[in-house]
Copies of this chain bind each other. A is one copy, B any other.
């Protein structure tokens, strides 16, 4: 079980390596009748595309998506949607040094232990490039959510020591700076910090936040498939993520109950909450307020500094990783977090469609 299939009803099956012919995804279970085209999906891929800023790998990939199946007359048919993104800029020689050596902070050693050998070109299947397939599928999920009136806003919340100031939060700013931060001042400080990291042949960690608005209350399965539990798997499955938080997350452990509980109240006939420490999920089920999740990304493990490590023959060696790599993962991962959150939420919303006899009757009463 290579574990490259995700979801229960809205299922995505991804494939491809960094330096193979391409990468792709098959989406099985997208409801019929959704309007989708390549141009729309491309807008998501463009948010992840390399080579867009000084802080992103200079590998030039068009990352052009092609729809191979599942769309007819501009709409999904309900059958599998196959999407492919061809690799166009693979330069294998860049990666020749890692064939025999295990890079610190990478899965190289684990792959060899697990599979006996590995496609070492650019990280193979463990390359960050794998996430492009998730983004393509995520674009479809976001479209489904949009049709339900649900929207996602995702951005970089912190880079190294610099965290955004929520009082200066400007949604429009997210796409104006290369770091996808909603606070221009913080983005400028972070940019300087990254320049310094680059000079030091080093890299930086970061935090990404995703806010999902207008999710109806009642979504999520109450035990193992809690909405937050599935979101945690979804987000932690992105390479380099080391922590996932919902709402106040880690801080909740330091509060007491009277501080942390969110009071419900009714206003204009609608259920509201005075605070949202819970991040929109209680007992694994959405409560109708904003869903807030955060992912902590470790610094890019590929750095130009000389590092101690071992090789395949289990000898002590050192390595200075050449080639093209980002000093920070998070800006390009913003859309990946959004994609995984959207895919997970769609799956849970589909599952919720069969939770009540009166829902069944709504479908089958004709």
Show 22 A/B contacts (Cβ-Cβ < 8 Å), sorted by A. Answer: A1-B354, A2-B78, A3-B225, A17-B69, A17-B72, A21-B69, A22-B69, A77-B117, A77-B124, A105-B262, A107-B284, A110-B220, A113-B285, A147-B360, A205-B256, A244-B244, A245-B250, A250-B296, A253-B297, A258-B305, A353-B353, A359-B363
Determine if B243 and A245 form an interchain contact, defined as CB atoms under 8 angstroms apart. Answer: yes
CB-CB < 8 A to A259: which residues of B? 299
| C-alpha spacing A283/B236, complex, angstroms | 10
Determine if A248 and B254 form an interchain contact, defined as CB atoms under 8 angstroms apart. Answer: no
Determine if A314 and B250 form an interchain contact, defined as CB atoms under 8 angstroms apart. Answer: no
Q: Choose one: B130, B261, B265; the contact of A301 (CB below 8 Å).
A: B261
Determine if A249 and B256 form an interchain contact, defined as CB atoms under 8 angstroms apart. Answer: no
| C-alpha spacing A20/B73, complex, angstroms | 12
Contact A130 to B351, CB < 8 A, known contacts A23-B69, A82-B15, A239-B283 = no
Q: Which of A4-12, A50-58, A177-185 contacts B (4 or more CB under 8 A)?
A: A4-12
Determine if B242 and A237 form an interchain contact, defined as CB atoms under 8 angstroms apart. Answer: no
| C-alpha spacing A84/B21, complex, angstroms | 12
Determine if B265 and A117 form an interchain contact, defined as CB atoms under 8 angstroms apart. Answer: no
Residue of B nearest to A308 (CB): B263
| C-alpha spacing A286/B221, complex, angstroms | 29
Determine if B226 and A3 form an interchain contact, defined as CB atoms under 8 angstroms apart. Answer: yes
Residue of B nearest to A217 (CB): B113
Determine if B353 and A223 form an interchain contact, defined as CB atoms under 8 angstroms apart. Answer: no
Q: Choose one: B33, B104, B354; the contact of A357 (CB below 8 Å).
A: B33
* Interface check A352, CB cutoff 8 A: yes
CB-CB < 8 A to A115: which residues of B? 32-33, 77-78, 218, 355-356
* Interface check A336, CB cutoff 8 A: no
Determine if B253 and A217 form an interchain contact, defined as CB atoms under 8 angstroms apart. Answer: no
Residue of B nearest to A295 (CB): B253
Q: Choose one: B105, B257, B285; the contact of A111 (CB below 8 Å).
A: B285
Residue of B nearest to A79 (CB): B125
CB-CB < 8 A to A303: which residues of B? 257-258, 261
